[in-house]
Amino acid sequence: MSSFVLRDVRIFTGESTIEEGYVLVEGGKIKSVGLISSFPPHEISIKTYSKPGHTVLPGLIDCHIHADKADPEALPQALRFGVTTVCDMHNELPNVLKLKQQTQESDTASYKTAGQAATIENGWPIPVITAHDKSPETLASIATWPKLTDRTSVIEYLTWTSREMAPDYIKLMHESGAAMGLKLDQPTVSLQRTVVEESRARGYLTVAHALCLQDTLDVLHAGVNGLTHTFCDQPPTDELVAAYKKNNAWCNPTLAAIGSLTAEGAALQHKFAHDPRVQHLLNEDKRGNMCACMSFATQHGKAEYAYASVKALRDAGIDILCGSDAAGPAKGTAFGLSMHHELSLFVNEIGMSPEEALRSATSLTARRFGWEDRGRIEEGRRADLLLVKGNPCKRVDDTLNIRGVWSEGRLCSVYEEVLGKAE
Tens-place pLDDT, residues 27-57 = 999 999 999 999 877 656 789 999 999 999 9
Average pLDDT of the chain, as a whole number:
96
Q: Which residue type is seen at 354?
A: P
| Residue where one domain finishes, among candidates 374, 394, 409 | 374
- Same domain? For 106 and 130 the reply is yes
**Residues 262-282: what's their mean pLDDT?**
97
**Residues 47-68: what's their mean pLDDT?**
97
- Same domain? For 327 and 194 the reply is yes
**pTM beyond cutoff 0.95:** yes
**Interatomic CA distance for residues 79 and 97, integer angstroms:** 19
Of 351, 331, 339, residue with least CA distance to 265: 331
**Residues 289-302: what's their mean pLDDT?**
96
Q: Could you tell me which residue, 329 or 102, shows the higher pLDDT? A: 102
**Interatomic CA distance for residues 154 and 118, integer angstroms:** 8
Cis peptide, bond prior to residue 167, ω within 30 of zero = no
48: domain CATH number is 2.30.40.10
| Residue where one domain finishes, among candidates 358, 374, 390 | 374
- Same domain? For 409 and 312 the reply is no
Q: What is the pLDDT of residue 1?
A: 63
- Same domain? For 140 and 239 the reply is yes
Q: What are phi and psi of 392, to 5 degrees?
A: -65, -15
- Same domain? For 261 and 339 the reply is yes
**Residues 152-167: what's their mean pLDDT?**
98
- Same domain? For 397 and 297 the reply is no
Least confident segment among 31-40, 75-84, 158-167:
31-40
Residue 321 near residue 365 (C-beta atoms within 8 A)? yes
- Same domain? For 117 and 237 the reply is yes
287: domain CATH number is 3.20.20.140
pLDDT tens for 237-248 read: 999 999 999 999
- Same domain? For 209 and 327 the reply is yes
- Same domain? For 50 and 174 the reply is no
- Same domain? For 365 and 414 the reply is no
Residue 318 near residue 241 (C-beta atoms within 8 A)? yes
Dihedral of CA 297/300/302/306: which sign? negative
For 92-98, which contacts have Cβ atoms below 8 Å and span 24 or more sequence positions? 92/116, 92/141, 92/144, 92/145, 93/144, 93/164, 93/165, 94/70, 95/67, 95/68, 95/69, 95/70, 96/70, 96/165, 98/70
pLDDT tens for 112-131 read: 999 999 999 999 999 988 98
What percentage of the chain carries pLDDT values higher than 70? 98
Task: Please state the three-class secondary structure of the chain as a single string.
Answer: CCCEEEEEEEEECCCCEEEEEEEEEECCEEEEEEEHHHCCHHHCCCEEEECCCEEEEECEEEEEEECHHHCCCHHHHHHHCCEEEEEECCCCHHHHHHHHHHCCCCCCCEEEECCCCECCCCECCHHHHHCCCCCHHHHHHHCCCCCCCCHHHHHHHHHHHHHHCCCCCEEEECCCCHHHCCCCECCCHHHHHHHHHHHHHCCCCEEEECCCHHHHHHHHHCCCCEECCCCCCCCCCHHHHHHHHHHCCEECCCHHHHHHHHCCCHHHHHHHHCCCCCHHHCCHHHHHHHHCCCCCCCCCCCHHHHHHHHHHHHHCCCCECCCCCEECCCCCCCCCHHHHHHHHHHHHHHCCCHHHHHHHCCHHHHHHHCCCCCCCCCCCCECCEEEEECCCCCCHHHHHCEEEEEECCEECHHHHHHHHCCC
Residue 52's CB: how many other CB atoms inside 10 A?
10
Q: Could you tell me which residue, 2 or 42, shows the higher pLDDT? A: 2
Q: Is the pLDDT of residue 422 over 60?
A: no
Domain of 29, in residue numbers: 1-59+377-422
- Same domain? For 55 and 65 the reply is no
User: What domain count does the chain have?
Assistant: 2
Q: What is the pLDDT of residue 42?
A: 67
**Residues 277-290: what's their mean pLDDT?**
95
- Same domain? For 103 and 250 the reply is yes
Residue 212 near residue 178 (C-beta atoms within 8 A)? yes
Residue 67 near residue 44 (C-beta atoms within 8 A)? no
pLDDT tens for 323-373 read: 999 998 899 999 999 999 999 999 999 999 999 999 999 999 999 999 999
Q: What is the pLDDT of residue 46?
A: 87
**Interatomic CA distance for residues 276 and 267, integer angstroms:** 16
